[in-house]
Chains A and B, each alone.
Chain A
Amino acid sequence: MSIAEMEARELELDPTGGGLWHDAFQRLRRSPAAIVGVVMIAILVFLAIFAPFVAPYSPTEQNLDAIAAGCCPGPSREHLLGVDDLGRDELSRLIYGARYSLLIGVVAVTIGLSMGLLLGAVAGYFRRADSPIMRLMDIMLAIPGFLMAIGIVALFGQGGLLQVMIAIGVVNIPIFTRLMRGSIIAQRDNDYVLAARSVGVPNRKILGSHIVPNAISPVIVAATLALATAIIDAAGLGFLGLGPQDPATPEWGTMLTNTVRYLQTAPFLAIFPGIAIVIAVMGFNLIGDALRETLDPKLRGRT
C-alpha cells in the first residue's frame, strides 16, 4: 500500500465527518441574533399551524355592531387589535395571515431554489451550456425583480396565491443559478480538491464531502435571506392588488391595501399588518445573517 492510499484510507476512517454542520449548529446556538430570529419564526409558524385554536375569532366573521359608529374602532377588550373596515377582528386576521406569508415565502423560494440549482449546476459542469444559461440570467437580472414579478402575474391574467408564488419563484431563479454555478466552478479547481484527488480520494467522495458541503452553504444562506425578500415582495404584490383575489383572504400585504383610505381615522389598520410583515422578514434576515457568519469559514475566526 502506498502512502497516498494509506492517507486516503485514513481520510475515509476519519470520525469527524459531517463536522461542518455540527460545528455550525453549536455556533448558531451561541449567537443571540440567531436565537431571536429562530424564536420570531417559531412563534409565527406556531400561530400559522394552530391559527384556529389561537385566534379569538374567525378571520371572516364580521362584527357589524363594532363598526356601526364608523370606521374603525381601535383596540378594545373585545378586539385586542381593533376591527377593520368590514368589522372583522384584526388580530384574528393577522394570525391567519401568517399562514399565507410563510406559505408563499417557502413555496416561492423552493421554486427559485430548485430551478436555480439545476440551471447553475448544469452551467457549472457543462461548459457548452454555460454561456446560453448565464446570458439568459443576465437578461432576467436586467429587469427589476419586482417589475418582473408583476409581469409574470400579468401573464396569468389575474393575481392569486399560486400566481404570486410562481412569480416570486421565477424572480429568484437567477440568484441561485449564479450562486450555484460560481460555487461549483470555484470548488472544482480548488487546491484542496486537487490535493484530495492527488492522494487518491475517490471522485464520489470528493464530490460528496468536499465540493457539495462547500458549495451548498452559501446557497443555504441565500435561501434564508431570499425567504425574507420573498415575503416582502409577496406583500408588495398584495398591496398592489395582485395578491389573492378573494378579498376575504387575510394576506398581510392585501390587508394593507385598503387601509390607505383610513390612514387618518384608523392608522392602526396599516401599522399592525406592517409590523407582522417586519417581524417575519426580520426573523429570516437574522437567521440568514447568523448562518452566513457560522457557515463561512472566512468569517468564523472573527468573533
Chain B
Amino acid sequence: MLRFAVRRLILLVPILIGLSLLVFIWIRALPGSPAQALLGERATDESIAQVRNQYGLDEPLYEQYWRYLQTVGSGDLGTSIASRRPITEEIQDRFPATVELAISAMLFATLIGIPLGFLAAKRHGGAVDHASLFLSLIGVSIPIFFLALLLKWAFAVELGWLPSVGRQDVLIDAEHPTNFYVLDGIITGNWYASWDAIKHLILPAIALGSIPLAIIARITRASVLDVQNEDYVRTARAKGISSGAVDRRHVLRNAMLPISTIVGLQVGLLLSGAILTETVFAFPGIGTWLQMAIVNRDYPVIQGGVLFVAIIVVLVNLLVDISYGFLNPRIRLAGR
C-alpha cells in the first residue's frame, strides 16, 4: 500500500515539471509583453528595456525558466501587478473561500445524490427512478451560470430569503484567523458570523453542486444496479441476512468504489464551475480572482494562480487514487 502511494508520488514529478513548463511558455506566448503591462500605456522603449533588464526578461528563455523554477520551488509565486501584493498572500485570502464553496457544493451533491441514486436503483423502473433520471438530465444540461442566475433571482431578489452577493455581510465585524469564514465564526465564538457565512454559501453551493449531483446520482444508480445482481449479494440474502444489512454491508460498500472515484474526479470540474458561480454571486474566491487577472493581464497572478490550481487538482487526484487503493481490497492487499 505504501509502495503504491510512493510510486504515485514519484510519477507526479514529471507532471509538475511539465505543468510549470506549459504555464511558463503560455505566459510568454500571451500578446503584449509583461513589461508593457507593468508600465502601462505611456511606456517608452527605454523604460521597457529597463524593466526587461530588471526582471531578467532579456535573458535566454531556459535561464528564465530555471530561475522561475527556483523561485517557485522556494514558495515564492511573485507579486500581483494589480494589487502589488504577494500572490501567496492573495491565495491565502481567496483559496479558503473557494474551498468552502467547493466543500459545500460536494456536501449538497453527495448528501442528495447518493440516497437518490440508491433509491432509484432499489425502485428500478419506478417513479423515483424516472424522477432521478430526469433530474440528472436537467443537472448536466443546465449551465451553471444560468442556474446561479435563476437561484439568485428567485431566492435573493424576489423572495429575499438569502443574500445575493459576497461571503459575509459587510456590517458584521468578524475576525478571520483562518479565512474559512464558517470555521472562523466557530473558533472565535461568533455564531452569528458563522451562520451569516453559511447563508451566503447556500445558493452558490447549490448552483455549483448541480452537475456533481447529477453525475453522482447516475453513478450510484448504475453501480447499485450492478452490485445488486452479484452472486455474493444473492448468497447473503439466501443466508437470511436482513435486507437492510445486505444493503449496508454488501451492496453499498461495493457500490461506493466507483462513487468515491467519481466524487474525487469532480474537483477539476468544481474549480471550472467556481469561476462562473463566483462571478454571478460576486464571491471573492480563486475563480473570480483568476478571471479578473486574465482580463487585466495580471501575468504573475495568472502564472502563479494557474500553477497553484493545477497542483491542487493533481494532488487531489492522487489522493483519490490512493484512497481508491485503500477502499479496494484487491489493490490494498496486493502488496502483502
Contacts and interface: CB of A to CB of B under 8 A. Distances in A.
A281 B141 contact: yes
A239 B317 CA distance: 29
A264 B18 CA distance: 47
A108 B72 CA distance: 34
B302 interface: yes
A260 B280 contact: yes
Nearest to B276: A236
Contact of A263 (B146, B157, B310): B157
A158 to B, nearest CB: 9
Contacts of A154: 30, 294, 302
B294 A156 contact: no
A296 interface: no
B265 to A, nearest CB: 10
Interface in A112-153: 135-136, 138-139, 141-147, 150-151
Interface in B187-237: none
Q: Is the interface of A mostly helix, strand, loop or mixed?
A: helix
A285 interface: yes
Contacts of B152: 263
Contact of A144 (B142, B269, B280): B269
Interface stretch (A8-16, A54-62, A182-190, A267-275): A267-275
Given A154-B30, A236-B145, A256-B145, A135 B18 contact: yes
B143 A282 contact: no
Interface residues of A, number: 40
Contacts of B106: none
B276 A240 contact: yes
Contacts of A157: 30-32
A288 to B, nearest CB: 10
Contacts of B30: 154-155, 157
A142 B294 contact: no
B268 interface: yes
Given A147-B275, A151-B306, A281-B143, A274 B15 contact: no
B306 A270 contact: no
B304 interface: no
Contacts of A135: 14-15, 18
A259 B309 CA distance: 30
B137 interface: yes
Nearest to B274: A144
Contacts of A264: 157
Contacts of B15: 135, 138-139, 142
Contact of B302 (A151, A232, A259, A281): A151
B153 A263 contact: yes
A83 interface: no
Contacts of B268: 141-142, 144-145
B18 A256 contact: no
Which of A157, A232, A253: most chain B CB closer than 10 A? A232
A264 B253 CA distance: 47
A66 interface: no
B145 A136 contact: no
A155 B272 contact: no
Contact of A151 (B18, B26, B317): B26
A138 B271 CA distance: 17
Contact of B18 (A136, A239, A281, A282): A136
A139 B150 contact: no
A142 B314 contact: yes
A165 interface: no
Nearest to A141: B268
B309 A147 contact: yes
B291 interface: yes
Nearest to A283: B141
Contact of B137 (A142, A256, A285): A285
B300 interface: no
18 contacts: A142-B317, A143-B309, A144-B313, A145-B269, A145-B272, A146-B276, A147-B306, A151-B306, A154-B30, A155-B30, A256-B145, A259-B149, A260-B280, A270-B146, A274-B149, A274-B150, A277-B146, A285-B140
Given A142-B310, A146-B272, 10 more contacts: A135-B15, A154-B30, A239-B143, A239-B145, A239-B279, A259-B149, A263-B153, A278-B142, A281-B140, A281-B143
